[in-house]
Structure 1
């Protein structure tokens, strides 16, 4: 018989965590130490007034043609909702869920569920705008389908196999994951927006919403206190704020019975405690080791949750600007920006992520903390002729984005593109030739270690961009499967150091693990140049490796990037039996995007996206090989095209190598 360890399941037995967030909230609430839950009981708005979007009965906001909700978004959603109407709803099948365990495929089941929830969100906005019965019916159909769905947990996350030996979800033991939190919050927003209309046309449906959400999310959240995403072991990642934020939405709106007042405050307090673990774990520089792509579903989720908490307490618990790490993380997106749609993609992120991010959330957070650069970066993505938000990011984000008047009035502005960024917590450097423009060369480099969240084995790797477009690149990651987060993760080529811009020493790549790390890290920044120096020896379990010093240098005066490698290796074999076999090759590798032409001592790279060509140079006589990598996964090919190319420089008989990167046809110098 399979049983779960319930050692930490009692919600009353855990020791309360008190970090930066709790301290700040207790201060604002004038609550004693440990008294936040009691204070919340009196501070929280009533459930009908607790979410920061007015319900559909407020026609000055929602009426078609005259309401203040963003007209462009509303028109776009109504058009696509009309296309949905009358077509069959997708059904997530048992066989699709089982594929996770059979062949690792997550997409079939998740794709069906995601499409269904997005259709429901489109119907919700359309119903709010029109108040027509046919759209209330469409919403009710979607809501009942969710309530009838056996599990809201994504099968790739469920622990039912380990706990019960079951390949499908165990409905008596629901697992609270990202998917379950998303459904709970979606239902809460629907109840908030259309509760009056549902009561008239579908009496009793709102009670069903409350029952399912309590059974599948709120009760498990309270009763089971060993969820891995709580971060009890100190390993706090993006699941924490994502789930806690959704639990907060559900508790605030759906726990509305008078008898639930104390329980509601307790659930909110537990959600705040969980968020505190995440906020306290944020480094002082606000960096996210999961990278830019995961900022939106990590730090941004925390900022949104705290914005909601502030609203639900009438502004009493407004603390974001008083916590330095939160102020700094608001700047993280524009600090990782290379230019246009391109970003520094560390870990599992894409270099050109989808443009439809919840920019309104960043804009709102930037306003709250007074970061004009972050506000400008968000506003750069506000096009009055395009939708202000998308259902892709969830119903709550959609509703906030199309009803936030300051976001809707935002005037597009240039992104700040800071000249230099150094984030010591993750040892990430970004530098460009001139501030405020992406023209010319930019370089990004990292130290860190190989136990980061969504880790790739890439200590010492670097990226070079031409006019903001990556040329020497990090591939990113392919479509997620069960293997992505299991024991087979590093069998995936994009996670291996062999396909990052790092050496392979005597045939040995970097392993995963915190012990594989950079050391002796030195950063230099001035008006004329920026550089990062670090030793990579600890990242390679290579006998005889004494040092591998890498220095990555941007020379603004010469418009040139230099990557200098110098190393000390003891003689091959050095008296061991290995001396009788040939020394394995040592190579310096770079992954290139675009078309590559190899010459003696140089390579011309014509980048993707029409960026200017760059030329790489190294000492003549160093053997160079091009290794093509065809791309057949859309998450890779949509960014890079049909292939990437790895440049291998054989340095087995050397102890140093210098590679320079320059524009193939230098532009006129910027007078700044």
Structure 2
């Protein structure tokens, strides 16, 4: 953002009021409109259903035994489930109190959870408390989010909250956010290039705009926030791509936007991040990420399926008309979907909802040169096909060792998949990170060369040899030898040709290997969540992946397909049986929610090994 004198502008920032959120500051008229509008019918059903559920339950306790589990056994989910359930109560009863101002039951439930959250020993998660386990002055993602939420509720509800609770909120936000942020040493996230910078600084900045009345102090705090936002933006490419994936785009860029919106409004437009061309390019990342329905290019620690925060998406589409696409209405995220129960997006799904919605994303092919991602969405009749491939390097935020990884999807179902994010534990972010299948190259559609997996680190980087997007074909060629350290490999070129014409798109993959001396083994691996089978097609061997839901499997523990319900839908992998020998194996990993999930490796072992090998595969949708 252009250089601006905060000391001159900050004194002109008014006290926060309801006009920040509602036309003419009329909250009553807005919430009456919400209750009468068919556009919000599903939202209201979800929130009221949650309210009924939560009214029957006591507030769960954040006990010492739960807090200590991360220290003693390295697991996080036990504490976090309770922590986020408490935030779910806060969101639900806050929204219901806004919707039903006459309800004393909702108002009482809200006061109880505000009191409970203000009484927590810390708003940080155990995994984010420093090694000395000192809680004083600790600020993480969730403590900053909590402070922002409470400060905003203080503005939104005003005198509807008891004076004692209003003072308590202000005191807690001051002591847990502003005082440590403005005093003492800097936090690591102030100069980091990922979502932490945007979420922590954005939440603190937003809370400060809503609560701090001392203008000199506010200017000092905003100066720090503005500087950290530059670090966040510098971590994203000029192409607007988010290497952490769409999930973290929603998170990091979402909180950037929530802060930037309040800053723009309260400064009368004098402080406006949205004028930055790069911010506009980042805003367009979401529409490029989808591969059909809710399937997304989920490289890195991102879930394979995503809905949209409809408020954020509508806001950006209206802010950048013609350049940021309006979101499809069917992709609206359910209120209950956010397992972290974040207030800022949940509230803005109401106040930022607009008519800026579409039937679906348009088809298109996109290449992000900084990320080295190619993403293509192809519409054939009523069917949407998706292809994505990546280069990049193996020191990316939330890194996976995955150079050359690619995805194939049809109507939102993945045939070649990325496992995405596993269960977050101490080991997951420690020295054992790449022993987890979802993080190491063993769990990606890339080769194992002479028994060597891909290495982590910035030196393990792809080189783009050629790239082209066109009406009929998309092509990308990568040199990937740098990913395989210490072996006999001299060169590994991977060529993708995505043909979009005809009745169905098809992919040709060609791998060219060159070695300094003959290797002992080369295994081409393709990863799928669909149980594969060997078949004969026109007298030639192939691997078939049936469309999900078109086949039945044997009882638990069995591996054979006992009945094919529909032979017409699926994916065939064609190969030269003279050059490679297939092997199908099943595996299990723990997903992001701590559940065991199956995945399958379709391996092709190269038969004749010399100094050179050229292996070709064709992927045909049927």
| TM-score (norm. length: structure 1) | 0.82
Question: Are 2:534 and 1:598 equivalent residues in the alignment?
Answer: yes
Match of 1:145? 116
Point out the more displaced range, 307-316 or 239-248.
Answer: 307-316
Structure 1 pair 360–101 and aligned structure 2 pair: CA distance change class (3 A):
same
Match of 2:9? 40
Question: In structure 1, how many angstroms separate the alpha carbons of the residues matched to 2:35 and 2:65?
Answer: 47
Secondary structure, aligned partner of 1:494 = coil
Secondary structure, aligned partner of 1:623 = strand
Match of 1:659? 617
Question: Are 2:598 and 1:643 equivalent residues in the alignment?
Answer: yes
Once the 2 structures are TM-superposed, how far is the Cα of residue 505 of structure 1 from its aligned partner? 0.8
Considering fraction of residues, name the structure with more strand.
2
Once the 2 structures are TM-superposed, how far is the Cα of residue 88 of structure 1 from its aligned partner? 1.0
Question: Are 2:348 and 1:400 equivalent residues in the alignment?
Answer: yes
1:221-273: CA deviations, max 9, x gaps? 11245311112xxx4101111112211221112224xxx22212322232222
Structure 1 pair 423–196 and aligned structure 2 pair: CA distance change class (3 A):
same
Question: Are 2:370 and 1:425 equivalent residues in the alignment?
Answer: yes
1:619-672: CA deviations, max 9, x gaps? 11321101111356475979xxx52210111115241100001123xxxxxxxx
Match of 1:489? 433
Secondary structure, aligned partner of 1:102 = helix
Once the 2 structures are TM-superposed, how far is the Cα of residue 152 of structure 1 from its aligned partner? 0.5
Which of 310, 314, 320 is 2:264 aligned to? 310
Question: In structure 1, how many angstroms separate the alpha carbons of the residues matched to 2:570 and 2:413?
Answer: 10
Question: In structure 2, how many angstroms separate the alpha carbons of the residues matched to 1:372 and 1:543?
Answer: 46
Question: In structure 2, how many angstroms separate the alpha carbons of the residues matched to 1:226 and 1:560?
Answer: 52
1:362-400: CA deviations, max 9, x gaps? 21012112245522x3545359xx879979652222222
Match of 2:60? 90
Structure 1 pair 637–657 and aligned structure 2 pair: CA distance change class (3 A):
farther
Question: In structure 1, how many angstroms separate the alpha carbons of the residues matched to 2:232 and 2:401?
Answer: 24
Secondary structure, aligned partner of 2:383 = coil
Which of 198, 217, 221 is 2:177 aligned to? 217
Once the 2 structures are TM-superposed, how far is the Cα of residue 98 of structure 1 from its aligned partner? 1.0
Question: Are 2:22 and 1:77 equivalent residues in the alignment?
Answer: no
Which of 202, 206, 209 is 1:252 aligned to? 209
Could you tell me whether the CA contact under 8 Å between 1:347 and 1:454 is conserved in 2? yes
Structure 1 pair 411–180 and aligned structure 2 pair: CA distance change class (3 A):
closer
Which of 341, 348, 364 is 2:294 aligned to? 341
Question: In structure 1, how many angstroms separate the alpha carbons of the residues matched to 2:338 and 2:303?
Answer: 19
| TM-score (norm. length: structure 2) | 0.89
Once the 2 structures are TM-superposed, how far is the Cα of residue 125 of structure 1 from its aligned partner? 1.7
Match of 1:243? 200
Could you tell me whether the CA contact under 8 Å between 1:382 and 1:410 is conserved in 2? no
Question: Are 2:136 and 1:178 equivalent residues in the alignment?
Answer: no
Which of 209, 215, 230 is 2:190 aligned to? 230
Question: In structure 1, how many angstroms separate the alpha carbons of the residues matched to 2:381 and 2:296?
Answer: 14
Match of 2:445? 501
Match of 1:618? 575
Could you tell me whether the CA contact under 8 Å between 2:433 and 2:440 is conserved in 1? no
Could you tell me whether the CA contact under 8 Å between 2:209 and 2:263 is conserved in 1? no
Structure 1 pair 389–341 and aligned structure 2 pair: CA distance change class (3 A):
closer
Structure 1 pair 281–216 and aligned structure 2 pair: CA distance change class (3 A):
same
Structure 1 pair 335–468 and aligned structure 2 pair: CA distance change class (3 A):
same
Once the 2 structures are TM-superposed, how far is the Cα of residue 348 of structure 1 from its aligned partner? 0.6
Could you tell me whether the CA contact under 8 Å between 2:424 and 2:592 is conserved in 1? no
Which of 564, 581, 586 is 2:510 aligned to? 564
Match of 1:588? 524
Question: Are 2:325 and 1:367 equivalent residues in the alignment?
Answer: no
Point out the more displaced range, 184-193 or 121-130.
Answer: 121-130
Could you tell me whether the CA contact under 8 Å between 1:616 and 1:660 is conserved in 2? yes
Could you tell me whether the CA contact under 8 Å between 2:144 and 2:203 is conserved in 1? yes
Structure 1 pair 396–633 and aligned structure 2 pair: CA distance change class (3 A):
closer
Question: In structure 2, how many angstroms separate the alpha carbons of the residues matched to 1:520 and 1:85?
Answer: 56
Structure 1 pair 489–138 and aligned structure 2 pair: CA distance change class (3 A):
same
The alignment of Structure 1 onto Structure 2 pairs a total of residues equal to 593
Once the 2 structures are TM-superposed, how far is the Cα of residue 551 of structure 1 from its aligned partner? 0.4
Question: In structure 1, how many angstroms separate the alpha carbons of the residues matched to 2:603 and 2:336?
Answer: 45
Which of 280, 286, 303 is 1:327 aligned to? 280
Structure 1 pair 262–63 and aligned structure 2 pair: CA distance change class (3 A):
same
Question: In structure 2, how many angstroms separate the alpha carbons of the residues matched to 1:414 and 1:503?
Answer: 35
Question: In structure 2, how many angstroms separate the alpha carbons of the residues matched to 1:649 and 1:205?
Answer: 64
1:200-227: CA deviations, max 9, x gaps? xx33221111111111111111124531
Could you tell me whether the CA contact under 8 Å between 1:618 and 1:660 is conserved in 2? yes
Could you tell me whether the CA contact under 8 Å between 1:158 and 1:175 is conserved in 2? yes
Structure 1 pair 483–65 and aligned structure 2 pair: CA distance change class (3 A):
closer
Could you tell me whether the CA contact under 8 Å between 2:372 and 2:464 is conserved in 1? no
Structure 1 pair 43–358 and aligned structure 2 pair: CA distance change class (3 A):
farther
Match of 2:548? 608
Match of 1:414? 360
Question: In structure 2, how many angstroms separate the alpha carbons of the residues matched to 1:609 and 1:316?
Answer: 54
Structure 1 pair 310–631 and aligned structure 2 pair: CA distance change class (3 A):
same
Once the 2 structures are TM-superposed, how far is the Cα of residue 72 of structure 1 from its aligned partner? 4.7
Once the 2 structures are TM-superposed, how far is the Cα of residue 360 of structure 1 from its aligned partner? 1.3
Could you tell me whether the CA contact under 8 Å between 1:373 and 1:416 is conserved in 2? no
Question: In structure 2, how many angstroms separate the alpha carbons of the residues matched to 1:487 and 1:55?
Answer: 54
Question: In structure 2, how many angstroms separate the alpha carbons of the residues matched to 1:143 and 1:508?
Answer: 53
1:31-90: CA deviations, max 9, x gaps? 4xxx2x213323322133574358998322235986779455345423432332253101
Return 5+ residue gaps in structure 2 as ranges: 551-567
